[in-house]
Structure 1
Amino acid sequence: MSRLLRTSHILAWLFLTGASLAAILIASFYLYLRPGLPSVEQLTDIKLQTPLRVYSADNRLIAEFGEKRRAPITIEQIPTIQLHAYLAAEDSNFYQHMGVDFKGLLRAAIELVTTGHIQSGGSTITMQVAKNYFLSRDRTFIRKFNEILLAIQIERELDKNQILELYLNKIYLGNRAYGLQAAAQVYYNLDVNELSLAQMAMLAGLPKAPSAYNPLANPERALIRRNWILGRMKELGYITEDAYRLASAAPLTAEYNAPDTQVDADYVAEMARADMVQRFGEAAYSDGYSVTLTVNSANQQAATTALRHGLEAYDQRHGFRGPIGQIANPDRPVDELSRELGMYPRLEELYPAVVRTVSDENNQVELLARSLGPVTMSLDDMKWARRHRSENSTGPAPTKPSDVLAAGDVVYVTPKITDDTETVPATQVLLTQLPEVQGALISLNAKTGAIEALAGGYSFSQSKYNRATQATRQPGSSFKPFLYLSALERGLTPATVFNDAPIVFDDSEQETSWRPENSSGRFYGPTRLREALYKSRNLVSIRLLRDIGIPYTLDYIDTLGIPTNNMQRDLSLALGSGLLTPMDVARGFAVIANGGFDVQPYLVQEIRDSNNEVIYQAPSVILCESPCQLDDIPPSTSDAANIRVAHRLADERSVYILHSMLRDVVRRGTGRRALALGRTDIGGKTGTTNEQRDTWFSGFNYNVATTAWVGFDQPTPMGRGEYGGTTALPVWLEYMTTALDNSPSAMMPQPNGIVSVRIDPVTGERARPGQEGAIFELFKEEEAPAPLEPLSTTNGGSLDSNGGTPSSLPQELF
């Protein structure tokens, strides 16, 4: 045997021995690792981490919660050219290999030996699926071997399109974007089927290194990577030469696009988020739930805007508190000033700006505003800015810009808007300031309790505290309708007379006296309850509470569902000295508005899972007389198990009479500003506490009840002249102008057992036939005043049952 042949045999045996040892080693690895490998079946059951999305009742996006932005799609929804872009970038042999590209792995091994580190990786798309769904990102040989085994297993059990779809929904593409569709929205604000070829190639370049090739963080490297992918697509025959040339010459158009929320409703969004976490725990943020709320986007935006306008109006009435900061040398380059301005946050439409020059000669101020750039402001744009001295005092009106501002001052400005809502040149701004006063607005569907709009403060980014549901404040006179309803249920009538006269209560233990007064400081003598309510007479309310009893009143209010645990057990209760949240007050007025039925406010209308299946639907609400029979439920109700029965809490006749009394608050009392709506179906009540610390207006018709509150977070006097009718009612009015737009009049139907009787306006007793100045009043049939003897019947006419001639009956209650 020749020496060459002998050497060949030795080499052959060495190769076989090495191959055998390698096979044994691989088999040992497989037997060792195989029990720990997950089942491929799990891939079809895995829930992609998809954020929680919150929508309005009319399907407008309110908010998105979750660390990962993701929008799963099917492979049928992805354009073929986009698939080709990813194949060209990541795995051009994807449809040919068995899950592992051994040539690629060998190339990676050689790179490791020759350079000391892996450059290309050698992973196929299938191996990336195995890694992304099941394995850690540790760069170890054990993890790589697991990846190879699992990729082969995946290829045996799933077809190629399934694998590619899993890959394109899982990959991280930078800027919190997970999956292709989310990346298309983040970088281009487009759906995946709307992208250009250049944009498709750009997204295909991101999986290799989302940071290094990110078009926002590193546009130059991203452009090189994009054009390389386009070249690969041309080489593989996916695109033509002309398409390559046009796409590679296209400019970069990527920019960051935050979730495109369409409704300004941060307080509502936070309520929905908390509700979902309570239901589903941390999975709420990642399991792809979508929540539809009861709020309408137009109403919600109107509520947010109305509250901000009302708080700004109060704030400006009390003067300018001065700049929020100072920046030295404001004539420095714009870039330097902009960096310093970055220390001051933008809040809603309030932009921080530094004053660069002040010209009294031209009545103009030049500023640099964050996000707006160089802007100007005239004297007219700051005329409101009298110097704030106290809640009751301001300085003189400014006559020149330097009376208000100086170079280097940092102030808030807002873009100037014309009356026709078109923005004037963006360089013109108005002087503003962040209000210190706060407020809330809640609007409820009176029949169902659905929250139609809610605003919990001026700015959620400034303060997360939701005053609509968390602030417990004294309701003042806005509490009186509940007291008067309890009196009507006790047998009193709108014609019952109480003396509006001084009253003193001595506290022997404290050696003090309480001398309550009307807001005017005057006393008006005998007053009917109707007049006392619409004129908000405090002394009448105190005597009324004393007459019907504090225990009875608190028990009755409790039956209405109004919490009484923070209410006074003394006569100050009549003036609203207890503590209620704006939501509590709104709910109580909704009970009045709907005729006396129970109201349970709710926000979540529907919840869907990641498969778009409805997993929760708010119950339908049925108003049901007590005792409520199942036969009363309409047969048209499809799901009898998903019904909430709202039982009657108050006598409908008492509520109907109270409606009439509260409409008079608007017609001729403290709520007259609400007449601007031009409607006859509106009732309501103002409320103002001692020293104007809390101001309220709650108003309603038969369908909707809305409450507005304005005050400081730490109860502080708001100043002379600041009452419910001047601070809270304008907020309510601006909102209701939108909420009731084009809606027909909605008044409570008159129930049986109500009579209208002419009475003496002074005594409240039934008027004698022919009595001048008599007025009509409403009564429950059994409580109507007894007829009196006629004074005379000189006209010879017959008298009607109410003591007047048919031809002379007035049509109004007054």
Structure 2
Amino acid sequence: MSSSTNSPKKNSAATSSWIGRFFLKAAIFAAGLGLCGALLGSLALALAWPNLPDLSAMIDYRPRVPLRIYTADKVLIGEFGEERRNVLRFNEIPDVMKSAILSAEDDRFYQHGGIDWMGVARAVVANLTHMSKTQGASTITMQVARNFYLSSEKTYTRKFYELLLTFKIEATLTKDQILDLYMNQIYLGHRAYGFAAASRTYFGKQLAEITPAEAAMLAGIPKAPSRFNPIANFDRAKSRQAYVLGRMRNLGYLTEPEYQQAMQQKIIIQSAPGTPAGGYAIHGDYVAELARQLLYGVYQDDIYSRGFNVYTTVQSKDQEVAYQAVRNGILDYTRRAPYPGPEDTVDLPAGIENTPVQLDAILDELQEKYPDNGDLLTAVVLSASPTKITVARTSNEIIDVTDKGALRIVARGLVKNAKDKVRIERGSVVYIHENGDHWEVINPPTVQAAFVSLRPQDGAIQSLVGGFDFEDGKFNRVTQAWRQPGSAFKPFIYASSLERGLTPATQVSDEPFTLTAAQTGSKAWAPKNYGRTYEPMLTMRQGLYKSKNMVSIRIMQAVGPKYVQDYVTRFGFDRERQPPVLPLALGAGSVTPLQLAGAYAVFANGGYRIPPYLIDHVTDSSGKVIMQAKPTIAGDAAARAIDPRTVYVMNDMLRGVATYGTGARVHRELKRDDIGGKTGTTNDSHDAWFAGFTPKLVGVVWMGYDQPRSLGSSETGGGASLPIWLDYMRYALKGQPQTPPGPIPDGLSKIDGEFYFAEFPPGQAVARVGLPSPNDIPLDGGGTDGITDLLNRLTGGSSPTRRIQPPPDVPF
């Protein structure tokens, strides 16, 4: 009985004992895990903390006056140095700006220790409610940590370092110092860093002068600088401004009347003195950077703090026209090339057009990944058919692409059986461009181009554009890209021949020939004319007009490769880059666009070698001139490069090229008789050139890929590069009187319609350059050493663009 009555109690006690033991073990296990976690966390902290950056650089605001770069007509095109950010002390920043920032970004900034846990919870709830990322939880301190020292990659390691750096900043600096850093250094679009610079960029006024309405608009920009700034998208900026003003009212920074007044204020976007809203008055980035590099070579890092003002030779209007000409020429080529497909494709839920918040959140993320490129604007496709593409820039900016010509550009992406890579469909991320009176879908170009113009009398550079977009990289193709000039080099071969007894009337064989591998010591060489058309004989003048390769090779063979190598150095070409081999007759050496422009200036100015220059003078912070250019002037006997008779004949022949030859479009469109020029297209159309000049202006255009590949079998210098040159010259030569040819120089006669040097009259000049035996054609004047690389290029091989490292970037 007793045993039976005590059994439930025993069972209950046993159960309680088991549960107790279980929770005890669980507690011990949890404590162990916690201890392990703490140990691992401590270890990670111990390893990571010493690697965090020193914060001294964040607060080193030693006042410095920046380096400023100007055009010849005193238009600001660049600033380099810390003061570019218009740094203000904390007490110099108006309270209305501080309250706007706190309302927009971190209203509990002065209460939390770097991470706002209440804000994190609020953001999680909001994002779950909308099923998308509509709110973030980054504090001002976290943004300072991320923007100053960390990359933008989204990894757990980077986030961990961001949190640690956030704690370090909070432990080291006061709240006012952190807010000071944020307000002075945060990027706010259109090259503006800090709110003082942004106020100048967008409103044309000092930060101390802004109103609550303007402060709220500026405070709304950090969320998405490329999309919420009032120049890129005024409607989005205005919407964001309304949100910030509402927060300022709710937090007590604005009274109701002040709020209503701010909401009703009209925002005027205007330029600061000397610059337009959003940046500089013209696109002179490549010019400014080159000027910085040149000055850096003299003063090193001192240039960023001593208040130097650099005045270049560039004319502002010429520069802007050149920029637009290069950009338009590259876009025209891109329209001709096969459409490569959208930049990306994202999942775009059905009906998202009816939920602006979600659509704008997607567009904001895409804009960060695929930012606008000048007038190429990021958009996402809402619908696509062969007759219409509808895209969204924002939830309020919906654009239809319906122009038939524009749709033909991307037609291969709109057909039913389009390949996945090129298909345009709902969710496709594309770039759009307003082309005249219609919109088009067009990818950011992968091809590049460069343009430079200069005065041949003294070498002063008038305009310089080193590529499609400076923001894609500072590599300046005008000065740093060593490329084969192709047929644009032929005039220098012809010039050398005039001083060796050939005349424009000399008959030259145009028949093809082949050299065997045994004869070359490398690969077999069978040079060809463009289009593979040949004629038995042509005059030298006809050979230049038609840009015949066979004629150029035989002229060089007749003159002698070694003589040609020596001769072309008179124009400023590097001897080592122009080896004495027959392929040089086809432009198989290497030049930069600037070097080629300087060489053509010798023809334009009467035969004088005038080195190009960019900086006219430099002043210190007080305006005192500390450097002044002293250019060589055409007419200086010491600068004489070639015989004036050679110049006269070559000018006559090159004007013929621009009137009757491969550059005849020049005369058709500009209707001028004082322009000479030459097209250039290298093997497999890797490079396309046009070099043209008047007696007062030289311009050179290059187009190609940085990693050489064919532009397309139908692309030539006349089709790809000449249009850029024409766009520029239409402006530059407008209203300029024509310069007729001068008197025929002494020692030169015109007999039966052609020119002859006195020492090479008819009967004594070389009358005919025939078809020699292959054994009589030495590639290098007697041997074959050193030609392998050139022959490789001519037979299909190529090497990437040669680059010269510029001085270090500005130390921000």
For this structure pair, what is the TM-score category when the shorter chain's length is used for normalisation?
0.5 to 0.7
Query: Would you say the 8 A contact 1:441–1:468 is kept in 2?
Result: yes
User: Do structure 1's residue 380 and structure 2's residue 404 form an aligned pair?
Assistant: yes
Query: Would you say the 8 A contact 2:607–2:640 is kept in 1?
Result: yes
Deviation at 1:601, TM superposition (A): 1.2
Counterpart selection for 1:709 from 702, 705, 726: 702
**Alignment partner of 2:634: what SS?**
strand
Q: What is the letter of the counterpart of residue 576 of structure 1?
A: G
Aligned to 1:300: 319
Aligned to 1:735: 728
Query: Would you say the 8 A contact 2:342–2:422 is kept in 1?
Result: no
Query: Would you say the 8 A contact 1:58–1:296 is kept in 2?
Result: yes
User: Do structure 1's residue 784 and structure 2's residue 761 form an aligned pair?
Assistant: yes
Aligned to 1:573: 584
In 1, Cα distance between equivalents of 2:513 and 2:653 = 25
Aligned to 1:67: 82
In 2, Cα distance between equivalents of 1:613 and 1:278 = 20
Query: Would you say the 8 A contact 2:680–2:716 is kept in 1?
Result: yes
Query: Would you say the 8 A contact 1:175–1:186 is kept in 2?
Result: no
Deviation at 1:256, TM superposition (A): 11
**Alignment partner of 1:547: what SS?**
helix
Q: What is the letter of the counterpart of residue 735 of structure 1?
A: Y
Query: Would you say the 8 A contact 1:50–1:71 is kept in 2?
Result: no
In 2, Cα distance between equivalents of 1:187 and 1:307 = 28
Q: What is the letter of the counterpart of residue 64 of structure 1?
A: E
Q: What is the letter of the counterpart of residue 608 of structure 1?
A: T
Deviation at 1:606, TM superposition (A): 2.1
User: Do structure 1's residue 365 and structure 2's residue 358 form an aligned pair?
Assistant: no
- Residues 265 and 512 of structure 1: CA distance in aligned 2, closer, same or farther (over 3 Å): same
Query: Would you say the 8 A contact 1:201–1:226 is kept in 2?
Result: no
**Alignment partner of 1:504: what SS?**
coil
- Deviation per residue, 1:474-521 (Å, 9 max, x gap): 111110111111111223221222222222323317474322221131
Query: Would you say the 8 A contact 1:357–1:367 is kept in 2?
Result: yes
Query: Would you say the 8 A contact 2:599–2:609 is kept in 1?
Result: no
Which gives a bigger RCO, structure 1 or 2 (Cα 8 Å, sep 6+)?
Answer: 2
- Residues 497 and 192 of structure 1: CA distance in aligned 2, closer, same or farther (over 3 Å): same
In 2, Cα distance between equivalents of 1:621 and 1:705 = 16
Deviation at 1:322, TM superposition (A): 0.9
Aligned to 1:699: 692
Q: What is the letter of the counterpart of residue 313 of structure 1?
A: D
**Alignment partner of 1:347: what SS?**
coil
**Alignment partner of 1:744: what SS?**
coil
Aligned to 1:346: 372
Deviation at 1:544, TM superposition (A): 0.9
Greater helix percent: which structure?
2
- Residues 731 and 254 of structure 1: CA distance in aligned 2, closer, same or farther (over 3 Å): closer
In 1, Cα distance between equivalents of 2:66 and 2:383 = 47
In 1, Cα distance between equivalents of 2:204 and 2:454 = 35
Aligned to 2:560: 549
Aligned to 1:317: 336
Alignment of 1:130-529 (within 5 A): 174=184, 185-186=200-201, 188-190=203-205, 195=209, 260-329=279-348, 331=350, 332=352, 333-342=358-367, 343-358=369-384, 363-369=387-393, 373-380=397-404, 382-385=406-409, 405-418=424-437, 429-508=439-518, 510=521, 512-529=523-540
Aligned to 2:661: 669
- List 4+ stretches of structure 1 deviating above 4 A: 70-73, 83-89, 170-173, 175-184, 195-203, 215-228, 244-259, 394-399, 509-512
**Alignment partner of 1:785: what SS?**
coil
- Residues 757 and 609 of structure 1: CA distance in aligned 2, closer, same or farther (over 3 Å): closer
Query: Would you say the 8 A contact 2:488–2:689 is kept in 1?
Result: yes
Q: What is the letter of the counterpart of residue 53 of structure 1?
A: R
- Deviation per residue, 1:3-39 (Å, 9 max, x gap): xxxxxxxxxxxxxxxxxxxxxxxxxxxxxxxxxxxxx
User: Do structure 1's residue 753 and structure 2's residue 772 form an aligned pair?
Assistant: no
Deviation at 1:260, TM superposition (A): 3.0
Q: TM-score, normalised by structure 2?
A: 0.64
Query: Would you say the 8 A contact 2:341–2:422 is kept in 1?
Result: no
Aligned to 1:766: none
Query: Would you say the 8 A contact 2:184–2:196 is kept in 1?
Result: no
Query: Would you say the 8 A contact 1:330–1:355 is kept in 2?
Result: no
- Residues 445 and 406 of structure 1: CA distance in aligned 2, closer, same or farther (over 3 Å): same
**Alignment partner of 1:375: what SS?**
strand
Deviation at 1:709, TM superposition (A): 0.9
Deviation at 1:384, TM superposition (A): 3.0
**Segment of structure 1 superposing worse, 476-485 or 286-295:** 286-295
Query: Would you say the 8 A contact 1:223–1:252 is kept in 2?
Result: no
Q: What is the letter of the counterpart of residue 352 of structure 1?
A: T
- Residues 72 and 335 of structure 1: CA distance in aligned 2, closer, same or farther (over 3 Å): closer
Q: TM-score, normalised by structure 1?
A: 0.64
**Alignment partner of 1:68: what SS?**
helix
Query: Would you say the 8 A contact 1:666–1:684 is kept in 2?
Result: yes
- Deviation per residue, 1:206-232 (Å, 9 max, x gap): xxxxxxxxx98976798899989x9xx
Deviation at 1:746, TM superposition (A): 2.7
Query: Would you say the 8 A contact 1:682–1:700 is kept in 2?
Result: yes
In 1, Cα distance between equivalents of 2:730 and 2:96 = 58
**Alignment partner of 1:284: what SS?**
helix
In 1, Cα distance between equivalents of 2:362 and 2:93 = 44
- Residues 336 and 196 of structure 1: CA distance in aligned 2, closer, same or farther (over 3 Å): closer
In 2, Cα distance between equivalents of 1:72 and 1:336 = 32
Q: What is the letter of the counterpart of residue 441 of structure 1?
A: F
Query: Would you say the 8 A contact 1:277–1:284 is kept in 2?
Result: yes
Query: Would you say the 8 A contact 1:322–1:387 is kept in 2?
Result: no
**Alignment partner of 1:323: what SS?**
coil
| Unpaired stretches in structure 1, ≥5 consecutive residues | 1-45, 74-82, 90-137, 141-169, 206-214, 231-241, 389-393, 419-427, 629-646, 760-775, 789-814
Q: What is the letter of the counterpart of residue 702 of structure 1?
A: P
**Alignment partner of 2:329: what SS?**
helix
**Alignment partner of 2:381: what SS?**
strand
Q: What is the letter of the counterpart of residue 574 of structure 1?
A: A
- Residues 779 and 511 of structure 1: CA distance in aligned 2, closer, same or farther (over 3 Å): closer
Deviation at 1:553, TM superposition (A): 0.7
In 2, Cα distance between equivalents of 1:249 and 1:519 = 67
In 2, Cα distance between equivalents of 1:313 and 1:245 = 49
- Deviation per residue, 1:530-555 (Å, 9 max, x gap): 11111111111111111111111101
How many matched pairs? 582
In 1, Cα distance between equivalents of 2:430 and 2:640 = 54
In 1, Cα distance between equivalents of 2:247 and 2:415 = 60
Percentage of matched positions with identical amino acids? 34
Query: Would you say the 8 A contact 2:611–2:632 is kept in 1?
Result: no
- Deviation per residue, 1:589-631 (Å, 9 max, x gap): 11111111112111112222222222222225433343x5xxx
Query: Would you say the 8 A contact 1:319–1:384 is kept in 2?
Result: no
User: What is the RMSD of the two structures over their aligned residues, measured on CA atoms?
Assistant: 4.3
**Segment of structure 1 superposing worse, 261-270 or 658-667:** 261-270
In 2, Cα distance between equivalents of 1:373 and 1:305 = 26
User: Do structure 1's residue 678 and structure 2's residue 671 form an aligned pair?
Assistant: yes
Deviation at 1:56, TM superposition (A): 1.6
Larger Rg, first or second structure (1 or 2): 1
Deviation at 1:289, TM superposition (A): 2.1
- Residues 192 and 296 of structure 1: CA distance in aligned 2, closer, same or farther (over 3 Å): same
| Unpaired stretches in structure 2, ≥5 consecutive residues | 1-60, 98-168, 172-179, 187-191, 220-239, 272-276, 353-357, 766-812
In 2, Cα distance between equivalents of 1:460 and 1:587 = 24
In 2, Cα distance between equivalents of 1:296 and 1:67 = 27
- Residues 571 and 88 of structure 1: CA distance in aligned 2, closer, same or farther (over 3 Å): closer
